[in-house]
Amino acid sequence: MNSADFVVSGRLQLAAIKRFPAVEFEDYERRLGEMQKTLQRVQQAYLGTSQRAIIVLEGWDTAGKGGVVRRLGWALDPRSFKVHAIAAPTRSEKSRHYLQRFWERLPEHSQIVVFDRSWYGRVLVERVQGYATPTEWRRAYNEINEFERMLLEDGTRLVKIFLHITPKEQLRRFRARLTDPLKMWKLSYEDFRNHGHWQDYEVAIEEMVETTSTKQAHWHLVPANNKPFSRLAAFRIIVDRLSKGVALEPPALDPRVAAAAEQFLGIALPPGTRAAC
């Protein structure tokens, strides 16, 4: 599995995607555990530096965004890992430029931030459901590209992932949620409403990917009918992007800590493990 395999190239046609790979659960757990450990090293390497990253997760309702977020959370220290679950804008947010609420949530130095849905709502749900006028959502393509260009030029790493499932699989997941008391709360009327506009969303998604997939910030499309496969694919993409050019070796130990360890624990650390004084 290579992150480049999921980069969208050429004209996207969602209806033409027929291959939805699957993985065995034992293989999934082993590979996921390995990538979670790598992400821990990435997060450690970011600490105390100007490195920062944004992960944009988009996808159909029930496509598995929450599952990816949870497994990121199991691996990363919440002190420098943040998740923003984006819902409909508040009354106050509606009175301002739609990008402002995202500017306010951008990562600080050393942070990794996930947007569970994002500024792309302007050209997806707001477009399809008529919350944004045609003039507004068409203008948003350039606004988003400029927004992301500024982030990248300022040194922010950006990963954009879209989780794709079939209409049939979405209905199966709706049924599963309705029969699970612990997941029933996740199903809303809007999920059914959006399913009824499937073809409209396909058009919007395909245009979004084609128009906002740039050389520096391309989209990755992950076939997500099989949740273990889609989680591994998402992690592979995230690990590759966030670790590129980053030294993942653990930092040298503070000499004072090493000296205290020898004094109080009787542990003589080998040469090379201490940072220079």
Asked if residue 206 lies in contact with residue 16, where contact means CB atoms within 8 angstroms, the answer is no
**Closest-CA residue to 108 (of 22, 63, 180, 49):** 49
Pick the CATH number of 3-246 from 2.30.30.830, 2.170.190.11, 3.40.50.970, 3.40.50.300: 3.40.50.300
Q: What is the pLDDT along the chain (277 residues), one digit of tens a residue?
A: 899 999 998 899 999 999 999 999 999 999 999 999 999 999 999 999 999 999 999 999 999 999 999 999 999 999 999 999 999 999 999 999 999 999 999 999 999 999 999 999 999 999 999 999 999 999 999 999 999 999 999 999 999 999 999 999 999 999 999 999 999 999 999 999 999 999 999 999 999 999 999 999 999 999 999 999 999 999 999 999 999 999 998 878 888 888 898 889 998 877 666 565 5
According to the model, what pLDDT value does residue 267 have? Answer: 87
Asked if residue 81 lies in contact with residue 111, where contact means CB atoms within 8 angstroms, the answer is yes
Which amino acid is residue 119, in one-letter code?
W
According to the model, what pLDDT value does residue 272 have? Answer: 60
Give the C-alpha separation, 166 to 153, whole Å.
Answer: 36
Give the C-alpha separation, 53 to 245, whole Å.
Answer: 14
Domain segments of the chain: what residues? 3-246, 252-277
Helix residue spans in the chain (DSSP H): 25-46, 65-75, 91-94, 100-103, 125-128, 134-153, 167-178, 189-195, 198-212, 227-243, 255-265
Structure tokens at 177: 């949620």
Query: Rg (Cα) of the chain, in Å, rounded?
Result: 21
pTM for the whole thing? 0.94
Asked if residue 222 lies in contact with residue 164, where contact means CB atoms within 8 angstroms, the answer is yes
According to the model, what pLDDT value does residue 270 have? Answer: 74
Q: What is the DSSP string of 65-83?
A: HHHHHHHHHHHS-TTSEEE
Asked if residue 197 lies in contact with residue 125, where contact means CB atoms within 8 angstroms, the answer is no
- Output the CA angle 183-189-195, nearest 5 degrees: 95
DSSP bridge partners of 58: 162
According to the model, what pLDDT value does residue 58 have? Answer: 98
